Each structure stands twice: as C-alpha cells, then as structure tokens.
Amino acid sequence: MADGKSEGGGGFLPASIEAAWGLRERPSKGPKPGLTLDRIVATAVGVASVEGLDAVSMGRIAKELGVSPMSLYRYVGAKSELYVLMQDEAMGPPPADLVPGSGADWRTAVEQWARAAREVYHRNLWMLRIPLSGPPATPNTVAWWERAMVALEGTGLDEGAKVSVIMLVGGFVRNEALMTADLGAVIGASGQSPEEVLSRYGHTLRRLADPDRYPAVARMLDSGVMDQADEPDHEFRFGLERILDGIALLVEREGGK
C-alpha cells in the first residue's frame, strides 16, 4: 500500500509524494504489467482535462487503466494525494528562460512568473477546483516557488517578506484565472458573445438600479463601460500592475534594511 508516510528529513510525506521526489522506490511489480504511478497520474490528468475534476475518482481511473480500484492503492494512498500529483504533472517545470537570474529587474521577473503561471492555469482550468492543502511539496511546484524566490533576490526584502509577496501574487493569479473560468462558463452557457452578455447585464441593471438610490452605479452605466467587453488581458494586466506598484513601495521602504 502507498499510504505509509515518512518523517525523513523532518517532513511528513505520503509515499506517493516521496516517490515523485525519487526518495522512495516505486513499485515495480504491479498487479498488471506496465501499471505505474506515472501512468495513473497521466490518466487522471487526461480525464480531468476532458471532463473536469469531478470526473476523477479511483474507480474511474482504474477503469480507464483496466485494473481494479484496489490496485491503485499500491501507488497512491488516497484521491487527495492523486490530486496533488495531478497538479504537479499539469504544472510541469517552469519555462527554462523564466527568471534567468538574480540580476534581472525584479518587477519584470515577477510579472513574467505571474504570466507563466497564469498560462498554466488557463491550460488546465480543472486545477483551480483542487482545494489548497498546503505549501508547495512536489518537484514542479517547488521549482516554480524557487523561480519566484530568485525573481525577488534583488529586492533586499527579507525571506518572510518574499514569501508574503509570492503568496500575494500567486493568489491574485489563481483568483483571476478562476474568475475568468467561471465567467467563461456563464458566457458559454448563454450562447451569446461577451459583448452581448455585458450589454444585457447593463440593460438589466439600468432597470433595477434607481439613479436616486444608486447614483454612482448610474454614472458608471451612463459612461458606457458596460456596453463593450475589454480586451481579454485588461483586468489581469491592471490588477497585476497595481500589485507590483504596491510591492515596489514595500521594496523602497524595506529593501536593504
């Protein structure tokens, strides 16, 4: 069974995560020739990519692989572990040219990191449905964390501040991707274009929002901002730039102390 855990090195990892790090020998004689942890994870990612995360279960993955559900438990102890490994597989290693070194301008480097992470989320929207279970603990997620830390090396911030910055930027990227996915699903279900959906919403809001009671909303509607969709990247760029502006103030105040 793969549900054993190890405290080697001060950690407390499921056996499947240790195997992903190469710290534990992977089972070589499964109940079916060719069954491996890598195949299990790849199959689960394939199902999630086509049908969404809800379609992933130990029973479903076993069926796809032509084995019994119990066979999978020699490799992965629970579906929650499988989720972690699926996320690591989908993230992949960060691009080789991402944050080339500590000499790079920190703001440009952090923006590149954020945009690269966003691309990963948009390619694998099902990842956004995985509950957060802890800090990075798999090879690829730690590699992404490493690149973010390198991006901040020239700021002069202490290690705790760097971690807080990464959590802030990473949280923004994840939330923006989730909101984009949800809005995309609503627009797709409506059968209308983004412009048509926005126009309909604006028309409805004009009927409901009494200008005497909601004067600020009325002014916004009168401006015409709800009558056409922004370029797809606008909200992400606007939000990220404002966050980077705030980090720049922190670097100016705290960096080099």
Fold of 5-90: Arc Repressor Mutant, subunit A (1.10.10)
Give the C-alpha distances (Å, rounded to integers) separating 199 from 26, 203, 214, 236. Answer: 56, 6, 19, 21
Instruction: Kindly state the average pLDDT of the residues 12-28.
Output: 75
Query: Would the pLDDT of 229 be above 70?
Result: no
- Please give the share of the chain, as a percent, with pLDDT higher than 90: 56
Tell if the pTM clears 0.75, that is, is over it.
yes
Does residue 28 have a pLDDT over 60? Answer: no
Q: How many whole angstroms separate alpha carbon 213 and alpha carbon 32? A: 68
Query: Given this chain, do its domains 5-90 and 106-193+229-254 carry the same CATH topology?
Result: no
Helices within 33-105 (DSSP H only): 37-51, 58-65, 69-72, 79-91
Cα–Cα distance measured from residue 216 to residue 109, given in angstroms and rounded to the nearest whole number: 38
Question: Average pLDDT for residues 128-139, to the nearest whole number?
Answer: 86
The Cα–Cα gap between 59 and 62 comes to 5
What does the pLDDT look like over 50-78, one tens digit per residue? 999 999 999 999 999 999 999 999 899 88
From the list 108, 65, 43, the residue with the least C-alpha distance to 248 is 108
Run of H or E residues at 180: helix 159-190
| CATH code of the region 106-193+229-254 | 1.10.357.10
Give the closest residue to 38 by CA, choosing from 103, 102, 86: 86
Kindly state the average pLDDT of the residues 140-157. Answer: 93
CB atoms within 10 A of CB 223: 9
Q: Which residues pair with 6 in a beta bridge?
A: 13
Q: Please determine, for residue 32, whether its predicted confidence score (pLDDT) is greater than 60.
A: no
Domain ranges in the chain?
Answer: 5-90, 106-193+229-254
Q: Which of 243, 221, 75 is nearest to 169 (CA)?
A: 243
